[in-house]
Amino acid sequence: MHLKIAILNEKGSSPLLNHQMVKAIQAVEEIFDHNFAYREIEMPQTGLPQAVTDLCKEADVVLHSANRVVSEMLQQQLKLHSSTHAFLGKFTNSFKGSTNQSITEIDFLLFQELEGGIPKIDEPWESGNTRATDFYEYTEAQITRIAHSAFKASKKRNKRLTMVHHDNHMLSTKLWREVVCRVGESYPEVELNLEHVHVTTKNLMERSSAYDVVLCDSLFGGIVANQSAGLAGFAPNILFGEDTILVNASPSENTPGVENPIGAVLSVALMFQKAGLQEEADIVFDAVEKSLQEGIVTPDLKATSPFGTEEVGDCIAEHILDWEERFIPNDENIDLGQSTII
């Protein structure tokens, strides 16, 4: 398969995370004899130059570790309307606390609609105002599009879909309920559950294994994503539209050299899934799982860990390359940061 991949390196962010994603992609490329084309460009911290926009529009996949403002500008320029998050926290919580070794199992896909639901400002805010009004709007077409994506993903997993809502207060979520239920009639094999956001946030703490695919609007998707990311320790995610996949490598640790690359690498696995390369995605998921099981992680997940971003990325890439042999990594090479991947 041929993919055109654009790599955006933003000054002041972490090109190291982009580098770990590329290592994982190239390891998969070597195993499956794919032919991916890479183009790299430096970009400023503010603004979106035309050269960057043009490169992104020509690409099938965009890798970046840009700040939030630039990320939102990319989302608008590329007409990205959906975000998919995968939370795989089966092992990370066991590393985080030395006294509490309980493990929270989180393994589900979250589909968050991003195009609609943006609050519309009726009038500029001024300090001292005594009244404020927000407008939160969705259309049937926006809901239908992401609902189909979520139902299709559920068919490939455990055929359980949960739609999170708050329809006792918001008219937009009443529309969500009607549209999602109507779309669900085309997927009779998928069990659809409608759940209030208050119930979801409670269940995530107590029995998160009940969730398989979760569908949310922009507001509640942000709530579920942030809570789940806090439980799991990282939040792999991709954004996608009609033509382009945007892979976000936002770090969970800002200390140079020890940014946690696991979320970024798992985002690559989601990218492969979205591109229809499920076996490639599974190998990346498996490689990350092995790294977690062996404790090859950054200090944010295990305080005594001596490994930095490059070493963890090297370990994951080596596991991808040697997945058939169930390779046990060479500890000496990992300590030295050596790898056959760039």
**What pLDDT is attached to residue 252?**
54
**Residue 321 is assigned to a structural domain of this protein:** yes
**Residue 176 is assigned to a structural domain of this protein:** no
**What pLDDT is attached to residue 284?**
95
**Residue 298 is assigned to a structural domain of this protein:** yes
More confident call, 341 vs 248: 248
More confident call, 145 vs 121: 145
Query: 90 pLDDT exceeds 70?
Result: no
Q: Which domain holds residue 278?
A: 1-80+241-342
Residue 101 — very low, low, confident or very high, per pLDDT cuts 50/70/90? Answer: very low
DSSP 3-state of 310: helix
Residue of 315, 328, 308, 177 lying closest to 255 (CA atoms): 308
Query: 200 pLDDT exceeds 60?
Result: yes
Cβ pair 214, 87 in contact under 8 A:
no
**Residue 130 is assigned to a structural domain of this protein:** no
- Torsion over CA of 258, 260, 262 and 264, rounded to 10 degrees? -100
**What pLDDT is attached to residue 188?**
97
Highest mean predicted confidence (pLDDT) among 44-53, 150-159, 291-300: 150-159
Distance CA 153, CA 281 (A): 14
The predicted-structure confidence for 164-188, as pLDDT tens digits, reads as follows 998 777 889 899 999 999 999 999 9
Instruction: Tell me which of 26-40, 138-152, 204-218, 242-256 is least confident.
Output: 242-256
**What pLDDT is attached to residue 65?**
76
Q: Return the CATH number at 269.
A: 3.40.718.10
Query: 131 pLDDT exceeds 90?
Result: no
Distance CA 5, CA 32 (A): 17
**Residue 140 is assigned to a structural domain of this protein:** no
**Residue 275 is assigned to a structural domain of this protein:** yes
**What pLDDT is attached to residue 100?**
37
**Residue 268 is assigned to a structural domain of this protein:** yes
Strand duo 61-64 + 4-10: pairing: parallel
DSSP 3-state of 53: helix
**What pLDDT is attached to residue 330?**
52
Number of domains in the chain: 1
Highest mean predicted confidence (pLDDT) among 33-47, 56-70, 244-258, 264-278: 264-278
Query: 23 pLDDT exceeds 80?
Result: yes
Distance CA 88, CA 11 (A): 30
| Conformational region of residue 151, where left means phi above 0, alpha means psi within -120 to 50, and beta covers everything else | alpha
Instruction: Tell me which of 146-155, 194-203, 268-277, 329-338 is least confident.
Output: 329-338
Query: If you average pLDDT over residues 320-332, what whole number do you get?
Result: 63
- Burial (CB < 10 A; 0-12, 13-18, 19+), residue 30, is middle
More confident call, 325 vs 101: 325
**What pLDDT is attached to residue 335?**
54
More confident call, 339 vs 174: 174
More confident call, 100 vs 172: 172
More confident call, 151 vs 227: 151
Distance CA 285, CA 266 (A): 7
**Residue 133 is assigned to a structural domain of this protein:** no
